[in-house]
Amino acid sequence: MKPQNLLILMSDEHNARMMGCAGDALAQTPNLDALAARGTRFTDAYTTCPICVPARASFATGRYIHDIGYWDNSIAYDGRVPSWGHRMQQAGVRVESIGKLHYRSGEDPSGFDRQHIPMHITGGVGMIQLSIRKQFPDFVPPPRRRAAIAESAGPGESEYTRYDRRVADIAVDWLRDAATSETPWVLFVSFVTPHYPLVAPKEFFDLYPVERMPEAKFGPGSGYQPHPWLADLTAGGPPRPEDQRVAYAAYLGLISFMDAQVGRVLGALDAAGLRDTTRIIYTSDHGENAGARGIWGKSNHYQEAVAVPMIVAGPNVPAGKLSATPASLADAYPSVLDCAGLPAEAGIPGRSLFELATKTDDRDRIVFSEYHAAASPSASYMIRKGRFKFIYYVRFAPELFDLEADPAESENLAARPEYAATVRELEAELRRILDPEEQDRRANEAQRLLIESKGGPDAVMANLPTKKLYTPVPPELLS
């Protein structure tokens, strides 16, 4: 196709169902709704890994986590594997980023001509303590209560909301200046909200009266019994009901705040006269449990954490379309190449989202995700095919859900005899992609070597680069 401009908008930790256009009765997202109305929304899109750093490395390279070896939030993208940014540079296409990258360092060759206020992992190692899983049997890590995310929620400003306003400011200026560009470009604008801390500016928090917030899905009193693999994620118990409601309101408020920043950027694109020559991708790196099963954060393969919003718009993109073809963050790489008029690359699993948007639905397209990071006793893998989702846990019993009959994932069908053939089929699909036990071993070994290089788990815990539950914004990026 003829080369076109491409604007990529990424948020952080946006639950795919929490948009007005996705049918959420509470979420107020007018700008994303308008984008979906003039483009195509993929109703079943997934992250390749439900945690920030690996997902972003996969998004950049178009490859699965086990293929590139960026296993967790301390083993971050360093330019070692070519990205779509590198391909743009080789083709002479201007390519820049604004906002969160979550790579190892701004000094690494990441594939951008320029990084504007880039946010990377802290000190090149990030939250290294989260690489300690079960590799050190004699080490007992201090408890990490997920409920703390909800307990600190409320109205106000945080370093994340201040940072995202700066991201939008710079993007608005960048697009105004791009109005006179005579050659195509790629701009990656990456926000950090609605990722916790769950502190939402008051005007957005007040959109969601706390007393009207729903109870947590599979919360206290529901009778839900968590899968044994979730033991570390659910340790310490769920938030108190009142904290859960405040947290839910704050999370929705952050979604609306992020939507407003997206609206500012899209408004600048239109003001610059670039709408008719620019394609757009909106997505997020992963989802958010939002209290479901007693968990705030991500780090599992249930829909809340692993599904992501995915909207494409622009020239030759079907307007107002809902595509039921399963999609993935791995599809971003070929999508960027497609916009630049470059041929697809052999050996990567994705397809151009702009191509998929024009095709009839392919419900049997396989989407794959994996997890080797924080609070996991072993690797978790997901296969989505048709109506079924299969979750394979190394050393634990699997789960199988019929997402058409049971979108809430309330009934595990894996042990029922009538679904034995489905389990065998989906496990065979998984093993065509990778050896799950071998990749679990590789991840644990890489993490063990990293921790030992820093003096072992006790030394790591004594010398943490940050004690926050999230990556802090360097102060110089806020001024």
Residue 144 confidence (pLDDT): 75
Q: Which of 75, 67, 69 is nearest to 434 (CA)?
A: 67
Kindly tell me the burial class for residue 192, based on how many C-beta atoms sit within 10 Å of its own C-beta (0-12, 13-18, 19 or more).
buried
Complete DSSP assignment for 375-387: T-SS-EEEEEETT
- Written as six digits, the tokens of 37 are 């109305």
**Contact assessment for residue 8 and residue 279, using Cβ atoms and an 8 Å cutoff:** no
Question: Domains in the chain, please, with CATH?
Answer: 5-478 (3.40.720.10)
- Written as six digits, the tokens of 275 are 């709408």
In degrees, to the nearest 5, what angle opens at C-alpha 100 toward C-alphas 98 and 102?
Answer: 135
Tell me which amino acid residue 212 is. R
d(CA 134, CA 139): 9
d(CA 53, CA 450): 16
Tell the residue number behind the tokens 């999609």, with chain if given.
Answer: 327
Tell the residue number behind the tokens 């209290």, with chain if given.
Answer: 291
d(CA 403, CA 113): 42
Q: Which of 264, 263, 258 is nearest to 200 (CA)?
A: 258
Encode pLDDT of 340-355 as tens digits: 999 989 999 999 999 9
- Written as six digits, the tokens of 142 are 């201090």
pTM summary value: 0.98
Q: Which of 311, 265, 266, 303 is nearest to 287 (CA)?
A: 303
Neighbours of 206 (CB within 10 A): 13
DSSP secondary structure letter of residue 468: S
Largest distance between two CA atoms of the chain: 64
* Helix, coil or strand: residue 477: helix
Residue 245 confidence (pLDDT): 98
- Written as six digits, the tokens of 233 are 């994620």
Between β-strands 185-190 and 5-11, what pairing exists: parallel, antiparallel or unpaired?
Answer: parallel
Q: Which residues of 14-53 are buried (b: 16+ CB within 10 A; e: fewer)?
A: bbbbbbbbbebebbbbebbbbbbeebbbbbbbbbbbbbbb
**Contact assessment for residue 316 and residue 355, using Cβ atoms and an 8 Å cutoff:** no
Q: Which of 280, 297, 288 is nearest to 236 (CA)?
A: 297
The answer for 97, left when phi > 0, alpha when psi is -120 to 50, beta otherwise, is beta
In degrees, to the nearest 5, what angle opens at C-alpha 381 toward C-alphas 379 and 383?
Answer: 175
pLDDT in tens, the chain (479 residues): 678 999 999 999 999 999 999 999 999 999 999 999 999 999 999 999 999 999 999 999 999 999 999 999 999 999 999 999 999 999 999 999 999 999 999 999 999 999 999 999 999 999 999 999 999 999 988 877 778 999 999 999 999 999 999 999 999 999 999 999 999 999 999 999 999 999 999 999 999 999 999 999 999 999 999 999 999 999 989 999 999 999 999 999 999 999 999 999 999 999 999 999 999 999 999 999 999 999 999 999 999 999 999 999 999 999 999 999 999 999 999 999 999 999 989 999 999 999 999 999 999 999 999 999 999 999 999 999 999 999 999 999 999 999 999 999 999 999 999 999 999 999 999 999 999 999 999 999 999 999 999 999 999 999 998 888 899 999 999 98
DSSP secondary structure letter of residue 307: B
Residue 1 confidence (pLDDT): 60
Encode pLDDT of 160-190 as tens digits: 999 999 999 999 999 999 999 999 999 999 9
Residue 126 confidence (pLDDT): 94
**Contact assessment for residue 84 and residue 337, using Cβ atoms and an 8 Å cutoff:** yes
* Helix, coil or strand: residue 115: strand
**Contact assessment for residue 345 and residue 86, using Cβ atoms and an 8 Å cutoff:** no
